[in-house]
Amino acid sequence: MKVLGIETSCDETGVAVYDSEHGLLAHALYSQVELHAEYGGVVPELASRDHVRKLLPLIDQCLGESGLTRDAIDGVAYTAGPGLIGALLVGAAAGRSLAMALDIPAIAVHHMEGHLLAPMLEENPPAFPFVALLVSGGHTMLVEVRELGDYTLLGETLDDAAGEAFDKTAKLLGLPYPGGPALARLAERGDAGRFAFPRPMTDRPGLEFSFSGLKTHTRNLWLEHNEDQSARADIAAGFQKAVTETLAIKCRRAMQQTGSGQLIISGGVGANIALREKLTAEGEKHGWNVSYPRLEFCTDNGAMIAFAGCKHLLAGERQDLEISARARWPLDQLVSAPRLA
């Protein structure tokens, strides 16, 4: 089955063609980073309008690269939530309509399920069941994954998401948007041991996260030391280490609690090299297998949506003709309400 995947939930237009027999045939991504940079963050209305401009040419480009014509596609998958509602509606309208015009099935995909399945696009893919750490700009969650569509939320953030904490901390250190990768680059030059940072919510049981206190702690440190040239990189390094160690402690707990031997990490912050190194080392120490998507599939992309959609279509799921999207859509509601009504 050949599935066209469309991702437009935030500030990247992503398109891909996934074939259940031959794997990923093509993928294309257009990032809106430059469009939003002057505002220091994503402007939702500008995001929607840019998806309108870029999506159809990107679909043509991707089909061209896959060597397929539209008629060879067996299904269309699109991100239906969670995300920016205007942006989501662009992909949902285009995807649903294209499927109707071609008289093939469509499927609405949950964006976080796309992230969760993304490591399966790689060689030696992880097999169900596993524990997933999903760390993106909007979410930080630990999920117990039993099989396709069977997800239990083990814990999530009470305030900022991990990526949001990276972005806000980067901004206060004067780094350009998008802050996460910039902060990670600055941290490479810093001494992570110079300043003490808390490991939030690790002193009590549970799998919940909280990053807003860490952000305030970082702000106070920076206000105290902002005339010291080397302090910026040292603060960035200390912050990154605090986030990665906190995530690692919670992963360890989740693995113990579930008895799982397979951990996957995905979402934009999963592209952070320090986090990948830390969790790989934890895996070696505790005997778990740890899997990640390649770096470009940690952040938003069409490949993960094509892949997730293909799995659901092969399971016989189909979307009705309504074009619908949800800004909020709890991941574990996929079980009780498998598809959008």
Restricting to residues 19-48, which ones interact with ligand KG4 according to CB under 6 A? none
| 166 touches, from ligand KG4, Zn ion, none (C-beta below 5 to 8 Å by class) | ligand KG4
12 with 31: CB under 8 angstroms? Answer: yes
The residue (of 10 and 107) whose beta carbon lies closer to ligand KG4 is 10
Binding residue for ligand KG4, selected from 268, 283, 302, 309, defined by CB under 6 A: 268
Cα Rg of the chain, angstroms: 20
CA-nearest of 10, 243, 4 to 106 is 4
Least distance to Zn ion from the beta carbon of 203, Å? 30
Instruction: Please report whether residue 7 would count as binding ligand KG4 according to CB under 6 A.
Output: no
Is residue 160 within the footprint of ligand KG4 (CB under 6 A)?
A: no
Q: Of 112 and 233, which CB lies nearer to Zn ion in the complex structure?
A: 112
Q: How far apart are CA 178 and CA 297, in angstroms?
A: 17
Applying CB under 6 A, the span of 62-70, 174-182, 224-232, 281-289 interacting with ligand KG4 comes to 174-182
Token pair 């960035």: residue: 236
Q: Is 79 in the site for Zn ion (CB under 5 A)?
A: no
Burial 141-173 (b: 16+ CB within 10 A, else e): bbbbbeebbebeebbbbeebbbbbbbbbbbbeb
Residue 136 binds to Zn ion (criterion: CB under 5 A):
yes
- C-alpha distance from residue 269 to each of 3, 24, 247 (Å): 27, 23, 11
Q: How many residues bind ligand KG4 (CB under 6 A)?
A: 19
Q: Which is nearer to ligand KG4, 129 or 181 (CB)?
A: 181
How many helical (H) and strand (E) elements, i.e. helices and strands, does the chain have?
11, 10
* Residue 207, Cβ density class (10 Å: 0-12 exposed, 13-18 middle, ≥19 buried): middle
Considering only CA atoms, which of 160, 171, 169 is closest in space to residue 135? 160
9 vs 244, which CB is nearer to Zn ion? 9
Q: Of 285-314, which residues contact ligand KG4 (CB under 6 A)? A: 299-300
Question: Which position has the token pair 């992570």?
Answer: 192
In the set 84, 300, 306, 313, which binds Zn ion (CB under 5 A)? Answer: 300
Q: Which does 271 bind (CB under 5 to 8 A by kind): Zn ion, ligand KG4, none?
A: ligand KG4
Tell me the window of 118-126, 227-235, 296-304, 309-317 that interacts with Zn ion (CB under 5 A). 296-304
CB of residue 271 to ligand KG4, shortest distance in Å: 4
Q: Is 180 in the site for ligand KG4 (CB under 6 A)?
A: yes
Half-sphere exposure of 212 (CA within 13 A, CB side): 5
Q: Does 178 bind ligand KG4 (CB under 6 A)?
A: yes
Evaluated on CA atoms 147, 149, 153, 158, the torsion sign reads positive
Q: Which is nearer to Zn ion, 66 or 136 (CB)?
A: 136
Side-chain-side CA neighbours of 326 within 13 Å: the count stands at 16
Amino acid at position 168, single letter: K
Least Cβ distance, residue 328 to ligand KG4 (angstroms): 14
Using CB under 6 A as the binding rule, whether residue 114 contacts ligand KG4 is answered as no
Look at residues 7, 4, 56 and name the one whose alpha carbon lies nearest to residue 25: 4
- Under 8 Å between Cβ of 5 and 307: yes
Instruction: Report if residue 187 touches ligand KG4, rule: CB under 6 A.
Output: no
Out of 75, 86, 105, 137, point to the residue binding ligand KG4 (CB under 6 A). Answer: 137
Residues that bind Zn ion (CB under 5 A): 136, 300
Residues that bind ligand KG4 (CB under 6 A): 10, 136-138, 163, 166-167, 178-181, 184, 267-269, 271-272, 299-300
